[in-house]
Amino acid sequence: MSNPPALGLRDFIAALPREGRWLLATVAIQLLGRGMTLPFTIIYLHEVRGFDLGLAGSLMGLIAIVGLVVTGPAGTLIDKYGARPVILGGLVCAIAGDIVLAFADTPILAAAALGLLGVQAGVSWPAANALVATVVEGELRQRYYGVNFALINLGIGVGGVIGGLFIDVSRPETFTYAFLGNAATFVLPALVLLGPLRHVHGRAARPAVDAPDATSSYAKILRRPEVMWLVAIGILLSTLGYGQIESGFPAYSRQIAEVSTRVVGFAFVVNCAVIVLAQFWVMNRVSGRRRTRVLVATAGIWGVAWVVFGSTGLVPGSVAAIVGVIAFQGLFFALGETLMQSVFPALTNDMAPDHLRGRYNAINSASFQTGAIIGPVLAGFLLEHGQSTVFIALMVVGCVGIVAASMRLERRITPAVNGLRPPLIPESAQANA
């Protein structure tokens, strides 16, 4: 095995192909609007539009539900027509959804708007990952996914700060401006895809009809053991991670640890900051290493994080509880996220045949969306029934499950798919060969 040389930001950008630089340039701006609106959407529906809280919560759930429904068809369309037109379709839906939501004064209009945003959420992940895989190759691809994740968090973090300073319930028009601003942020990536990247379709040539895997349905792909283990890992990562960020974490922090909403908000800010600052350090250390072992490290860090977080319930309302909440979200969890996002998308795309990348990325996306649905339901049920200890214990057990599934996956994939590179052969040895 050979470890690639460490790269700084300038070296990384210089090494990217022109198309990769254009794609990366739009990421933070696109997520800036999401950061401005996502934390405040349910507040907008409830306090500005006057929908009761139960209805507002159900409407918010439409984003995940619609996203899960459209992911499968999106993967098929990516493989057939290319990732670029699918991304453009999603961007059009997002622009329309935000414009409608800015003026939605009835539940039907709000549902239509959030459904359109769900379409974009469902197609963007598999299509974007598939498009990146067609323009960035080799070791640079894994690094790209890591930097992309850091920029996503930078955009969301900065957008959240802007939204928090700008949006005011006593001035309903600020919500309208925020949603229209979010719509505007989707225009830039659309212009890039229609202009500088109009030649990049993101569609691989199909192999001969009699070639292995020339045609594969989702059922056939899912029967592959390595894919099933990948799906299991994705569901667990999302259930224990993203499925708890906006549900179990704030609920436990407020009800059990008894910290203020300001502490919860600050923990999110620290989370984004750690991800942005640590990404290159992490990226350079995981390059050339087994990706499954990096996922094991993620599970280990998250396991410790959940234990630390659970212990805050023993000292509610104290300084120790505040430190524990911030340490969970801002340090342990952020570091685990950074490790995971540095390797998981690359693992998926290196596993996938070129002409089936859309379907593989759709399966990956669906597994995370499934966990994002399971996580809040699980947290809500257990915490509502006073089972906070059981909740923390299940999170820790889930981390053990990630370790077991990652080791099973390691035995099913090749070293190259797992991120290992062949050793460099010295020039003297080549000359003597």
pLDDT at 360 over 70: yes
Mean pLDDT of 27-43: 81
- Does the structural domain 217-422 have CATH classification 1.20.1250.20? yes
Q: Give the pLDDT score at 424.
A: 45
Residue spans per domain, the chain: 1-199, 217-422
For residues 197 and 82, is the Cβ–Cβ distance under 8 A? no
Residue 429's pLDDT band (boundaries 50, 70, 90)?
Answer: very low
**Class of the CATH-defined domain 1-199:** mainly alpha
Q: Give the pLDDT score at 42.
A: 81
Q: Give the pLDDT score at 91.
A: 95
pLDDT at 8 over 70: no
Q: Give the pLDDT score at 1.
A: 47
Residue with tokens 């094991």: 296
Closest-CA residue to 278 (of 326, 328, 335): 335
pLDDT higher for 309 or 7? 309
Neighbours of 3 (CB within 10 A): 13
pLDDT at 432 over 70: no
Q: Give the pLDDT score at 4.
A: 56
Residue with tokens 């001969």: 208
Residue 207's pLDDT band (boundaries 50, 70, 90)?
Answer: low
pLDDT at 213 over 70: no
pLDDT digits (tens, 9 = 90+) for 257-286: 998 877 887 888 888 888 888 887 888 788
Residue 215's pLDDT band (boundaries 50, 70, 90)?
Answer: low
Q: Give the pLDDT score at 96.
A: 97
pLDDT at 24 over 90: no
Radius of gyration of the chain measured on its C-alpha atoms:
22
Q: Give the pLDDT score at 422.
A: 62
Q: Give the pLDDT score at 186.
A: 93
Residue 6's pLDDT band (boundaries 50, 70, 90)?
Answer: low
Q: Give the pLDDT score at 202.
A: 66
Output the average pLDDT for the chain. 85
pLDDT at 39 over 90: no
